[in-house]
Amino acid sequence: MSHEVKNRSPLLAVNHLSVDYVDPPHPPAAALREITFTLQRGEALGIVGESGCGKSTLMLALMRLLPAAGRIVAGSVRLDGVELLDLDEQTMAALRWKRIAMIFQGAMNALNPVRTVGEQIAEAIRLHEGVGDRRVLARRVGELLDLVGIAANRRDQYPFQYSGGMRQRAMIAMALACSPDIVIADEPTTALDVMIQAQILQLLADLRRQLQLSILLVTHDLGIVAELCDRVLVMYGGVMAEYADADTIYNSPAHPYTQALLRAFPDPTRPAQKLAAIPGAPPRLNDLPPGCRFAPRCPYVFARCHMAAPPVYAITPTHSAGCFLVANPQGGAA
Amino acid sequence: MHRSTYLVSKLAWAAFTILFVIVLNFFLFRILPGDPARAGVRDPRLTAEAQTAIRERFGLDKPVINCFASLNPLEPGDCAVNPLDTQFFIYAGNLLRGEFGISYHTNRPVVEVLGERLWNTLLLIGAGQILAIVLGMALGILAAWKAHTPVDYGALGFSLLAWSLPTFWLGIILLFWGSAYLGLPVGGKYTPGIDYANSWEQFADLARHLILPSLTYTIVFLGEYMLIMRSSLVDVLAEDYILTAKAKGLNHFQILKDHALKNAMLPMVTIIALNLGFTVAGAVQIESVFSWPGLGGAIYEAVNRRDYPMLQGAFLLLAVSVIIANLIAELLYSYLDPRVGRVNQS
């Protein structure tokens, strides 16, 4: 799935986005720092990291749906050149789902249990396209369900009458209801069994080709990213670790965290190889290390890592990493 | 299980429970000590003939049921009597005809007395409950929506205070305040000795009498409803599907109306149904403070006078109203929550 990176203006451009969680009287927690990436039309970008690395915070920040304690303190989010962070709430609400839709973990609790699946899909169409005719809505909902492989006559059923995989499909149908430019998929296959996972990923891949969708795929599963994504953003502790196209990430990772993450993943070509866990735990937001956030767990750590946070260095125009080793491969040995 | 099967099984259970209560209610009052023939007329000069006459009048000369003259196991009765001519079957037959017997004290049919009192009680708790539900829910929704702000803390504080006030104490305070400063009547249902020019005037007088007791009632239940509505809605608003609704571009009002309230109403329905069932018993304390001629007062008086037919009728009424309130709650559940009464088809 090679993607040709053209020199046109990106559909979505996120620049130096930083988010704090405030909880007075405690000092604000730096949940997200200096996140920069772009998403082209039709491109799939994987956002990868451990639990608590800020993936979900990033997604919610893009939609301006952070919980009350979350504050976007710096940066910009441009959709087709329009700065989303400057829009008033009403304009932003009109843009949600119409331009950027989200696929939550539908297998869990992302669908309202007391309303039919059809109603919940129709609601988005009614809201954003002003369609009020019940028959038109029913037909549209039927088509959407059909698109994701659910029989249209199940539109009047409730989420609890669906299986986990079907709920996830219904969630995808709902996300596609208003033909959005961008679909953010937040761990879309979590809590599904492997067979269903594969089906859902195949569905996403098909839909993407069919509808020219741009996809932001949030996951902790590198295997899923390899299947679906053109480019990958690896996050660690709220900062960018590495950002490159998928081939580069898998074949020549520059950041020690990316390397460790890959070693912690099974390699089908070497089934006998033992998986290497990364020692330690991800940093807690209220107790961040002073320098590089990965320093306490990094095998190549040297003195400078504990003193300053590394900037994001460009290795090639399409490959960058936030590590001192990129600028100075000898590191502490030099 | 199909939906109609659910409804039928709930109805059947309610009917079965009522049947059980009818039987229990009969024997309960036959086990209780004391001879109604004596208790009704406390006069040592009462002759044996007079006592027999009283027993006959209330049907107490008949055996309780086949083989038992009374419920004393040492006092076996005749097994050869016509079963339909025993107290139990006469009681059951009378119930079917809507007759609950004659009050030992007032000598009026129990149905008549209870009906009058029930109507008064319904008037009082109806006004109080509707106000409490509407205000409590509104305040709860407001507090949940503004959770962890001064508005929320203010509403919480008020509700906790209202909930913890002793009913009789609040009643007395309101009675003092209302009668002294607002000129409201101190008790009863109507001002005694008044000739009303028209029914509108009569209604106005009733309404003035109703203000203080139902206000007391409202305040007592308001806090409970507010606290439950708030905590239920706060939970629902933290659910994933609320985030989905926000991401869909719905505004606050739409989220509340279309996604949060129906889910948050479930605990409210439970508590309202339970309260309604139990308060048909009458808010005894409020009725006492305001001399309101309701069911609670009637039960209290009947206990003091050992007026068993009254108590028997009142107990049945209470049991039935609790059962019916529960039944309504269950039926509302299946309407509010599609998961109730259906089976997962996947």
* A32, two tokens: 């997200």
Distance separating alpha carbons of residues A305 and B299, to the nearest angstrom: 81
Tell me, what's the pLDDT at A164? Answer: 87
Distance separating alpha carbons of residues B248 and A127, to the nearest angstrom: 9
Distance separating alpha carbons of residues A111 and B306, to the nearest angstrom: 58
**A174 contacts on B by Cβ (under 8 Å):** 248
Same domain as B303, residue B191: yes
Same domain as B168, residue B73: no
Q: Is the pLDDT of residue B346 over 50?
A: no
Give the CATH number of the domain where residue B283 resides: 1.10.3720.10
Tell me, what's the pLDDT at B198? Answer: 84
- Domain-located, residue B341: no
Q: Is the pLDDT of residue B67 over 80?
A: no
Same domain as B72, residue B11: yes
Tell me, what's the pLDDT at B66? Answer: 72
- Domain-located, residue B107: no
Distance separating alpha carbons of residues A199 and A40, to the nearest angstrom: 25
Same domain as B164, residue B204: yes
Task: Tell me the mean pLDDT in the region A184-205.
Answer: 86
Q: Average pLDDT, whole number, for chain B?
A: 84
Which of B96, B122, B139 lies at the terminal end of a domain, its last residue? B96
Same domain as B129, residue B42: no
Interface test with A, best of B244, B257, B339 (most A CBs within 10 A): B244
Interface test with B, best of A90, A97, A112 (most B CBs within 10 A): A112
Return the closest-CA partner of residue A17 out of A80, A69, A68, A63: A63
| Range(s) of the domain holding residue B303 | 114-336
Same domain as B135, residue B91: no
Which of B54, B69, B96 lies at the terminal end of a domain, its last residue? B96
Tell me, what's the pLDDT at A79? Answer: 93
**Residues of chain B with pLDDT > 70: what percent?**
90
Instruction: Please answer yes or no on whether B338 and A114 come within 8 Å at the CB atom.
Output: yes
Task: Tell me the mean pLDDT in the region A13-35.
Answer: 90
The pLDDT-based confidence of A106 (bands split at 50, 70, 90) is low
Residues A231-241 pLDDT 10s:
999 999 999 99
Tell me, what's the pLDDT at B281? Answer: 65
User: Does this complex have an ipTM over 0.90?
Assistant: no
- Domain-located, residue B343: no
Same domain as B67, residue B123: no
Q: Which of A208-212, A305-309, B107-111, B224-228 has the highest mean pLDDT?
A: B224-228
pTM (2 d.p.):
0.81
**Residues of chain A with pLDDT > 70: what percent?**
96
Tell me, what's the pLDDT at B103? Answer: 82
**B2 contacts on A by Cβ (under 8 Å):** none
Same domain as B80, residue B143: no
Chain A residues near any Cβ of chain B (below 8 Å): 63, 65, 90, 93-98, 101-102, 104-105, 108-116, 123-124, 127-128, 157-158, 160-163, 166, 174
The pLDDT-based confidence of B131 (bands split at 50, 70, 90) is very high
Which of B34, B68, B96 lies at the terminal end of a domain, its last residue? B96
Tell me, what's the pLDDT at B26? Answer: 86
CB-nearest partner of A108 from B240, B247, B342 = B240
B167, amino acid identity:
T
Instruction: Please answer yes or no on whether A96 and B336 come within 8 Å at the CB atom.
Output: no
The pLDDT-based confidence of B345 (bands split at 50, 70, 90) is very low
Same domain as B52, residue B200: no
The pLDDT-based confidence of B322 (bands split at 50, 70, 90) is confident
Same domain as B330, residue B206: yes
Residues B82-106 pLDDT 10s:
777 788 888 888 888 888 888 878 8
Nearest CA in chain B to A66: B243
A270, amino acid identity:
R
Tell me, what's the pLDDT at B344? Answer: 46
CB atoms within 10 A of CB B164: 8
Residue tagged 């996604």 (tokens): B259
- Domain-located, residue B345: no
Q: Is the pLDDT of residue B73 over 70?
A: no
Same domain as B193, residue B77: no
Tell me, what's the pLDDT at B39? Answer: 59
Helix (H, G, I), strand (E, B) or coil at A235: strand
Return the closest-CA partner of residue B76 out of B65, B68, B66: B68
The pLDDT-based confidence of B40 (bands split at 50, 70, 90) is low
**A109 contacts on B by Cβ (under 8 Å):** 239-241
- Domain-located, residue B69: yes
pLDDT: which is higher, B104 or A4? B104
* B187, two tokens: 């008790």
How near does any CA of chain A get to the CA of B160, in Å?
A: 26
Q: Where are the alpha helices (DSSP H) in chain B?
A: 3-31, 36-40, 48-58, 87-96, 110-145, 150-164, 167-181, 199-237, 240-247, 252-255, 261-279, 284-289, 295-305, 308-336
Q: Is the pLDDT of residue B326 over 70?
A: yes
Q: Is the pLDDT of residue B311 over 90?
A: no
Task: Tell me the mean pLDDT in the region B200-224.
Answer: 89
DSSP single-letter state for residue B259: I
Domain count, chain B: 2
Instruction: Please answer yes or no on whether B245 and A105 come within 8 Å at the CB atom.
Output: no
Interface test with A, best of B1, B248, B257 (most A CBs within 10 A): B248
Least confident window among A211-225, A280-294, B31-45, B163-177: B31-45
Q: Per DSSP, what are the bridge partners of residue A101?
A: A183
Tell me, what's the pLDDT at B100? Answer: 83
* A288, two tokens: 């961040």
Instruction: Please answer yes or no on whether A161 and B342 come within 8 Å at the CB atom.
Output: yes
